[in-house]
Structure 1
Amino acid sequence: MAWMILIAAGLCEVIMVTFMKLSDGYKKFVPSILSFSAGALSFYLLSLSLLHIPVSTGYGIWTGIGSAGAVLIGMLFFKEEKNPSRLFFIGLIIFSIIGLKTVS
């Protein structure tokens, strides 16, 4: 169950960053509130997962999900550049997340 909570925390991190982008520098009220709420939920879920997962592994996976997810959202919805080297390095992050999970 701790791993599912950690994945949910990472997804909340992606949601937070997405609404951060949509908030236009926190000038728009609703996306700003959604960004802060998703961020708070992300930290809370991370703290719950770290009760059962080593902090080094949990934090690494959480930041990896957030980083990879933010880049993918940027490419899919915000027309950010999609080139082979970006996709390769996102693949490395995802591969590293899987590696951290398997050694824990």
Structure 2
Amino acid sequence: MAWIYLLIASVFEVVFALATNATEGFTRLGPSLLTIVAAAAGIFFLSLALRTLDVSVGYTVWTGIGSVGTVVLGTLIFDESLNAGKIIAFFLIIGGVLGLKLADRPARPSTEPELTAPN
């Protein structure tokens, strides 16, 4: 479940970054509110993931996915430039995220109570 929480947190991280760009210095109400909500939701889901994932892995993967998502969507939505250097860095980030996932040690036991179906 921790990796699901981390993916959800990463989506909110991308929304946060893109919405922050659209706030125009927090002068536009809608994007400003979206920025605040996305930031809070991203941190909330990250905190759930970090119940079992090491912070070194969870936080790095969260920022890595957020960075990659922001590059892709920033290029598509805001027509930002994409050059060879950005593409190489993009793949290095993806490689680092995958490497961290593969190198992650078994998760710590969760402190959450287990939900069981009634008999």
TM-score, with length taken from structure 1: 0.96
Q: Percent identity?
A: 38
- Segments of 4+ in structure 1 off by > 2 A? none
Identify the residue that residue 90 of structure 1 maps to in structure 2.
90
TM-score, with length taken from structure 2: 0.84
Q: Number of aligned pairs?
A: 104
Bigger mean CA offset, 39-48 vs 18-27: 18-27
The higher relative CO (CA closer than 8 Å, separation ≥ 6) is in: 1
Q: Please report how far the alpha carbon of residue 58 of structure 1 lies from its aligned counterpart in structure 2 after TM superposition.
A: 0.3
Distance 2:83 2:63 in 1: 22
Q: Please report how far the alpha carbon of residue 79 of structure 1 lies from its aligned counterpart in structure 2 after TM superposition.
A: 1.1
Q: Please report how far the alpha carbon of residue 55 of structure 1 lies from its aligned counterpart in structure 2 after TM superposition.
A: 0.6
Structure 1 residue runs of 5 or longer lacking an equivalent are: none
Q: Please report how far the alpha carbon of residue 95 of structure 1 lies from its aligned counterpart in structure 2 after TM superposition.
A: 1.1
Distance 1:45 1:58 in 2: 11
| RMSD of aligned residue pairs (Cα, Å) | 0.8
Structure 2 residue runs of 5 or longer lacking an equivalent are: 105-119
Distance 1:100 1:21 in 2: 29
